[in-house]
Amino acid sequence: AISTAQKAGLQVITMRQSSRWDKSPLYIASMTLPAKSGSEGVLAPLLELGWDSKTGELEDCVRARAVLLAERATYEGSLIGEGSLSYFCRASLPYGKWCSLSVPFEISSDDVLPNHRFVMAGAMSN
């Protein structure tokens, strides 16, 4: 899945992990198109792929229209920061509705996977 997204022009900007109470942690690759000059705090679109750290099975996928980072930096080769995530929901018509949502978004240095290129190599071989 990661190599397919990369072929579409997305680049990995962050590798992190997320704990789960009932299973092994998820490794999460956050991917976006290269930022345009002057818009480095805008990640659009954002694709996050999460896979089980033990089995390598893809278990989660998130796609956002954009992330607007009010604060950003790099840590261990990964982008970190805080801001808001914007996504668009669409339900089947004639009964559904359309809505745009914005929620807080953060990538913390505590969650970044050190040596993430090694983790990526393992994910791409599965």
- Please report, for the chain, the start and end positions of each structural domain, with discontinuous segments joined by +: 2-125
Distance CA 65, CA 44 (A): 6
**Residues 15-56: tens digit of each pLDDT:** 999 999 899 999 999 999 998 888 888 999 999 999 999 999
| pLDDT of res. 126 | 46
Element (H, E) at 11: strand 11-18
Report the pLDDT value the prediction gives residue 2, as an integer from 0 to 100. Answer: 86
> Where is mean pLDDT largest: 13-27, 93-107, 110-124?
13-27
What digits encode the pLDDT tens for the residues 58-91? 999 988 999 999 999 999 888 999 999 998 776 6
**Distance between CA atoms of residues 49 and 126, nearest Å:** 13
pLDDT score for 125:
47
Tell me how far apart the alpha carbons of residues 45 and 126 are, in angstroms, rounded to a whole number.
25
Calculate ∠ Cα 84-50-120, nearest 5°: 110
Mean pLDDT for 7-18 is 92
What residues contact 109, with CB distance under 8 A and at least 6 apart? 75, 76, 80
Measure Cα distances from 54 to 4, 33, 66, 75 in Å: 22, 28, 30, 24
Q: What is the pLDDT of residue 115?
A: 66
